[in-house]
Every structure is written in structure tokens, then in C-alpha cells.
Structure 1
Amino acid sequence: MKDLPVGNDTNTRLSGLYLDGAKLVALAEEQQIYSIWSRWFIPSFWQNQQSHQMYLLNVANPETPTQTAKLTVDGQVISSRRIGSTLYVATRHSPNLPNLNQYPTTEAEAAANRTLINNATLADFLPDYQLNGGSKNEIFSGDDCFMTQYTDKKSYQTSIVSLLA
């Protein structure tokens, strides 16, 4: 097989290959310095990994594979598995509002943060996808999400774990 036509970013690594007949799915993401498991409870770590790609390739002729689609999804791949002809991808997405000051030091900065948060919609916090570089679309709505009821503020988790098929 020739080189796979899956982008030209030298910081991107393949994280999974799934072959089904003449179709090959290649999962790709930005390389990480640290293991995801040692950083599981650090939401800011996950905000830096905001998307991964799924390339669909036609490999009917292995000498000339061709890309037929590229799906970009917000979040990082936790795990993936193919069962039959269905590919399941578990992802983790940590929402990040643009212009939100992570560590406000003045009342004005805190007030600006409150305004940003109060003006945001639930959709602003949910992961999106893009097909072939097109416009961003919602993967699911807030009504499709399960959320536990935390009683201790120290137990809050700001990540969304999704299972995509």
C-alpha cells in the first residue's frame, strides 16, 4: 500500500485503522506529550485536545488509496472498536468558551466571565462535527445527554464523554 492520503500535519498521528472490505477508516489526532490516563481528572488538559479526524478511504486498489470523506469531531478519542461493520468511538470533550478568563483576578474579569457564561447556550458547550471541512453541526442536543447530580462542588467534572457509532 502507498502512503495514506490523510493530511500533511507532522504533529498528527494515526491512532486507529479499521478495514472493512474495500473501506478503511483511519483515526488521527494531534500527538500528546502525556498519557491521557494520568491526566483524566484535569479538565484543562482536555481543552487543549479539541478535535480528532476520521478519514474514510477507498482501498479497493491498495496501490492508489483515495480519501472519500473526512469527519472532524470535537474532543479526543478515548477508545475505539469495530463490531461488524460499525465503528464505535468513545470521545471526551471539555467545553471551552472563547474569551473566558480561566483565572480572573479582578471583579471586572469575573463579571465579564459571568456575562459570557450567562449569554452562552447549551449548544455552545456541546461537541460539534464537520464533514469534509464544511460547516460545524451539532453531534447531539442537550436533551440527549445524561448528567449526574453532584452534591459536592469538589466533585464537578466539566467533560462530556460521548459514544459515537
Structure 2
Amino acid sequence: MSVDEQTRDQITVPPPVVLAGAAGVQALIMRKRKATAGSRVAAAVIAAASAGLAAWAIVTLRGHGTTLTPEHPERTTHLVTDGPFAYTRNPVYLALTGLLVAHAVRKRSFAALLPAVGFAAVVDRTQVPREERALRARFGRRFTKYRRSVPRWLGEPEG
């Protein structure tokens, strides 16, 4: 592990705190914006899909008896590759990002998408690498194979 990785591990802010900060910034940005019937419906669809993805991921993790705590990725006991983890390596973070997007859509605010993008970027640059290092250390080749076959977020795997 490089010095940069060690430093990043020591100062990582827990994802729930980053999420709360992003939602708070969104609330400030959108405080005077009004939702419309259409924006409420669109946001509800996005939020429902995001909540469903999060629930599916949590049920899958619990079914394997492994940790849900992002602050301690080293406590992972099972490399979960089924359920939503067969399509994205980070379904919970993807779902949380989706909830932030739904919040911005509801209030019809392009500016409020920026905290959603910021949340995803912070998690992608700090928390996800920490978790992936822990998984690689614990599961070795099995994790490397999984990483090559399933995308971090969406789209094509890293190959």
C-alpha cells in the first residue's frame, strides 16, 4: 500500500456522513424550488428503483452472513457475487446516489445533481478503493476475477 493510500484510509469519511452532507447541500440548493406532479412521479420511480436496489443488496449481504458496515471492510467474511453484485460491485452506493438524483429530480434542479455526483466521486475515490483493497487481501484471485467481470458502478467491467 502506498503512502497516499494509507493517508486516504486514515482520513476517509464514512459514506453515511458523505451522504448526509450531499443531501444537506441539495436541501440548501433547492430550498425555493417547487416540485410538480411530473417531477414527483419521475422522482418516485427513481427513488423506488434505488430503494429496491439497496434492499436487494442488503438482503443478499445478510443472506451470506457478511458485514454491512462500510467503516470496516476488513470484516468481510464472504465475497458476494450474486444478486445485484452480479451486475455492479457497489449496488448500495449506486442506490444511494440514485436517491440523491431522485431528490434533485423531484425539485427540478440541475444544480442539485452536483452533490449527487460529488457523493459518487468521493465514495469512488476514498471508500471503494479501501473496500477493494480489503477484498483483494482477503479473497485474492477470486476478487480479481470478480473485479474483471463486474463493473464498479455501471457499464463495462474494468477488464
The two structures have a TM-score, normalised by structure 2, of: 0.28
Give the structure with the higher percent strand.
1
Higher relative contact order (CA closer than 8 Å, sequence separation 6+):
2
The two structures have a TM-score, normalised by structure 1, of: 0.28
Select the structure of larger CA radius of gyration: 1
